[in-house]
Amino acid sequence: MAKRVVIAGILGGITMFVWLFVAHEFLPLGELGVGEIAKEGPVLSAMQSSIPQAGLFLFPGMGLGPNPTMAQRNAAMPAYMKKYEQSPHGILVYHPPSGAFDFGAALAREGAITFWKACSRRGCFPMPRLEKDTVSERGSLLFSECLRL
């Protein structure tokens, strides 16, 4: 039984990897809703000088620094809501300059992430089972994005 589960996980990983290739190369799904910044030079310069390390960032920030207390968050919330309403806002996944792009390493990493997702779905690796599938999908997406950092 365990052998069949592992084989199913491997086949699922291969199937997902092939599907992602088809979806990104031959269908418009890989570019759906993705755009470029028109004048990205100043934006890239500002990011490079302002963000020292890779990470996932929400903007605008509350301006409280690392590990604020709940009381500090509650006190800053009214000013933050006003700032949020009047400012651009979003989520930024940032990677500082890292040299030449290694396509082979990126492809291998994507394959490993896809395999991990398929195996975790098939029960090859111990993962908590959640009631709602959408919740586990979001957790899987977050996990894979963290691996890419």
Summarised one tens digit per residue, pLDDT across range 96-108 is 888 888 888 888 8
Domain range enclosing 143: 1-37+104-149
The CA distance from 112 to 13, in Å, is 8
Number of domains in the chain: 1
* Beta strand segments in the chain, E: 55-59, 90-94
Mean pLDDT, rounded, of the chain: 80
Instruction: Answer for the pair 13, 115: CB distance below 8 angstroms, yes or no.
Output: yes
- 23 vs 142, more confident: 23
Please give the pLDDT value at position 31.
Answer: 73
What is the mean pLDDT of the segment spanning 81-103?
90
Tokens of 23: 């979806």
| 23 lies in some domain | yes
| 75 lies in some domain | no
| 89 lies in some domain | no
| 44 lies in some domain | no
pLDDT of 121 > 70? The answer is: no
Q: What is the DSSP letter of 56?
A: E
